[in-house]
Structure 1
Amino acid sequence: MNLAVQTSAQRLKAYCDSQLVANQIQGVYEARDERMIKYLSKVRRLAGKFKNFAVIRIPRTENAKVDVLYKLTASGYTTLGSTCMEFLKKSSIENEAVEVMQVEHESCWMDEIIEYLRSGKLPEAKKEARKVIQRAARFSLDGESLYKRSYTLLYLKCLRLSNAAYTMQEMR
């Protein structure tokens, strides 16, 4: 992307064989790892310099051209006809500032159960407190994760709505 910006390109199509990276750039997936957040921030900032920018995911099995380029550069070739290449001596996100947005904790049906299992704290209303105690009997807390005991004695991980959507997207 840096090379395309330097050559004053107006449109850029980037091909990527990583479903995770492509979907993070497109905004389908959320970047959670600190390094990925830095890379994503840089990509979005650079993408704003183009009139048209697109990331296209291609299956790894159809990525022969990139594999050949990688093998050639790894073996020491520095010029490949009209192909522009840039060799980085350090990570492109080194010393990169990250914008952090404060996200409010989404309330969820699990919150009262987690609070009760963690600290024994119950709602003020006796009726609500009784419901929490009864429901909590079927759950187990492991660190920050809540699990429900199934009838087959397996533990099922409970997810917040945002995590459930992400998990369902990954399962496709």
Structure 2
Amino acid sequence: MLQSPEGFMIEYALKLDFLTTNNEAEYEALIAGLGLARAVRAKNLKVCGDSRLIVAQVNGEFEAKDDTMAKYLRVVKGILTQFDEWYAQHVPREENTTADALSQFASSEIDNYPRSIYFQVLKTPTIHVINLIAPVGVARCWIDPIKTHLETGWLPDDAQEARKLSVTTLRYSLIEGLLYKRSFIIPYLKCLRPLEAEDALKEAHEGICGQHLRGRALTHKITRFGFYWPTMLADAKAYVKNVTDARGTHQ
């Protein structure tokens, strides 16, 4: 849960789809919250957590002796350097009923969650993927020219294409090397490559949702999970049609 200086509240639930300890889950939630704060361009941060141990480690009062915990702590410390000011405070769970309700929601099998809540499923521990670089064999796609322009200022030689790219990139941001689309929906939407988009379509249609959706509803669900690619509506409609046709063939 994130609160802006103006009092605007963003409710965010994270479901961990892998085996983890309670302390590791606390770190995953903290990293997700810090990423959300980065996405909304927060400068000064107050972190409230119900784990006294994690708060103490982040504040430097306790050491993280376990190797996994030490890795998580290094990731958190690295992200915190990107804020002007921050401090962490322990808040007992019973004193933060909203956050407790979100944690209960994320661990449940609720399909029709409230639209005000941003919900994401994490398949892999953050410490296993945060420093990975995309394999050389990954095919270039729509993401690459936008990302290259934001990183280096590169523009195509063709004047018309250069203007088009300059305008397009105004709608995107790079956060820790990943491309996000700026949106009226908060947090920003993580941009997906084609193979990632295929996985998102399949999981949203048959996995996380627990129900079969039509094209627009499927697109909306994926957006609520925080993902984006330019052809998502057309791809969602095509995916639903293919699934429907396949079922009809097997009936």
Normalised TM-score (structure 2): 0.35
Quick check: which one's helix share is greater? 2
Greater Rg by CA = 1
